[in-house]
Amino acid sequence: MKRISESKIQSNTIVALSLIPLSGLAMDVFIPSLPDMAVQLHTTPAAIQLTLSLFIISYGVGQLIVGGIIDSYGRYWPSLVSMLVFSAASFIIAFSTNLQTIYAMRIVQGFTTAMIVVSKRAYFVDVYTGDTLKKYTNLFSLIWSIAPIVAPFIGGFFQTTWGWASNFIFLGFFGLTFFFIDLLNGGESIRTAQPFSTRLILNSYGKMLKTTDFSMGIIVLGFIWGMLLVFGMAAPFLIEHELQYSPVVTGYISLFSGVSVLIGNTVSRILYRRSYVKKIRIASSMQLVSLALLIPVTFFYQNLVTLMMFVFMLHSLGGFIFNNVITYCMIRFPQYAGKASGLIGGGFAALTSVFSSLLVNTIDISNQTMLGAAYAVLAVATFLFLVKTSWKGGEQKTEQEKEPVMEMAVEV
């Protein structure tokens, strides 16, 4: 087994940090290309939007499986092979005109991304401890937030300059570059491999899912992230078809969406000492009030300004709720920290895909009013779950609770 040397820890740390936002990059970089893909592949917008859902489902399910694999068989080789497969899948998509092939490769991308990202997160726990580990986990939140912000902006440039396939060529070379870097410079970081036991993993998952506040928290996370995915699916068509702007503008609006989520995330960190239950219920109520004010406005005005008002209010409040709820769930079962992170990440990703796909296939989001209607379904569901659920321990202020406030984005 190729062990990582002490002299190469710092360079491997940079590689690991660079790969952590891969999930957001692979999901969002081609969002400005969705309308053009539908035209070039002679299919419907809903058929192209499914490529997003398939990636999220496979990425979410992959996280449920990956943890046990890398604890038993190491981080290095599973991650290295996944980089190569991810790159190959990206190139196949770029040069394919068959929608079924693209679907299959997006599923492959989701599973391989889960393997890469989870392995690289585990790397930090393997090689760092104490304050140094805290420093790096604190960086995860910022780095993970960058990809959804910059990826659509980059994708808009690629789409305008070279067309939709260039986004996947970019992903292919991204994966290939890091494959060779890791092949030449990387190594195994795990100290002691654990026996792989499906029974123990399933028993732990069962116990957590039977705990109502934990399982309801995962559902709420799915609702919140579903809002962002619905926007990602609908925005290119609203901006480029209805408002007649270029894909570059789609990239700018997606950038604005990411910044809004980041603002909500930041405010949540500032207010982390405040009552957990009170602040998430207030934020959810503010979402409903925002929708009640904004939806009527769209009957008379539909332009970039009204769209940005939707985005800022719903996405910043959603980021605030998401940050608080995922922190709560992460500390709910400290004895199952690793398994809980996989269950949370995989569970809410799969639910997000289901909720968003159902909405875009049942509501014709052809204008901003209908986008508001889709938001309203998820916002009302979020409010009901937050109000009806008994959040045990939500008011406790322990040192254990404070840690995940910094580290929560690691598990997304």
Nearest CA-CA partner of 409 in 262, 270, 208: 262
Dihedral of the alpha carbons of 252, 143, 271, 210, in degrees to the nearest 10: 110
Q: Report the C-alpha gap between 160 and 178 in whole angstroms.
A: 26
- 335 Cβ partners below 8 Å, 6+ apart? none
Question: Where do the structural domains in the chain lie, given as residue ranges?
Answer: 1-196, 200-412
The pLDDT, as a whole number, for residue 64 is 80
CB 16 within 8 A of CB 79: no
List the structure tokens of 9: 């820890």
Amino acid at 201: I
CB 227 within 8 A of CB 359: no
Q: Nearest 5°: CA angle at 279, between 276 and 281?
A: 105
1-196, what's its fold? Growth Hormone; Chain: A; (1.20.1250)
| Domain covering 200-412: architecture | Up-down Bundle (1.20)
The pLDDT, as a whole number, for residue 252 is 82
The pLDDT, as a whole number, for residue 339 is 66
SS3 labels along the chain:
CCECCHHHHHHHHHHHHHHCCHHHHHHHCCHHHHHHHHHHCCCCHHHHHHHHHHHHHHHHHHHHHHHHHHHHHCCHHHHHHHHHHHHHHHHHHHCCCCHHHHHHHHHHHHHHHHHHHHHHHHHHHHHCCHHHHHHHHHHHHHHHHHHHHHHHHHHHHHHHHHCCHHHHHHHHHHHHHHHHHHHHHCCECCCCCCCCCHHHHHHHHHHHHCCHHHHHHHHHHHHHHHHHHHHHHHHHHHHHHHCCCCHHHHHHHHHHHHHHHHHHHHHHHHCCCCCHHHHHHHHHHHHHHHHHHHHHHCCCCCCHHHHHHHHHHHHHHHHHHHHHHHHHHHCCCHHHHHHHHHHHHHHHHHHHHHHHHHHHHHCCCCCHHHHHHHHHHHHHHHHHHHHHCCCCCCCCCCHHHHHHHHHHHHHC
The pLDDT, as a whole number, for residue 142 is 59
Sign of the torsion angle spanned by Cα atoms 394, 409, 110, 257: positive
State the pTM of this model: 0.70
The structure tokens 């979402």 sit at 287
The pLDDT, as a whole number, for residue 403 is 38
Distances (CA, A) of 152 to 37, 249, 394, 401: 15, 10, 36, 34
Environment class of residue 125 by beta-carbon count within 10 Å: exposed (0-12), middle (13-18) or buried (19+)? middle
Backbone angles phi, psi at 3, to 5 degrees: -85, 150
- 214 Cβ partners below 8 Å, 6+ apart? 208, 329, 332, 333
The pLDDT, as a whole number, for residue 328 is 81
12: phi > 0 → left, psi -120 to 50 → alpha, else beta; which? alpha
Q: Report the C-alpha gap between 288 and 376 in whole angstroms.
A: 7
The pLDDT, as a whole number, for residue 93 is 97
Q: Report the C-alpha gap between 395 and 75 in whole angstroms.
A: 37
Same-fold call for 1-196 versus 200-412: yes
The pLDDT, as a whole number, for residue 405 is 34
Nearest CA-CA partner of 400 in 347, 340, 332, 339: 332
- Mark the ranges of the chain whose per-residue pLDDT is less than 70: 1, 131, 133-135, 137-142, 144-145, 194, 330-331, 334-339, 341, 393-412
CB 294 within 8 A of CB 306: yes
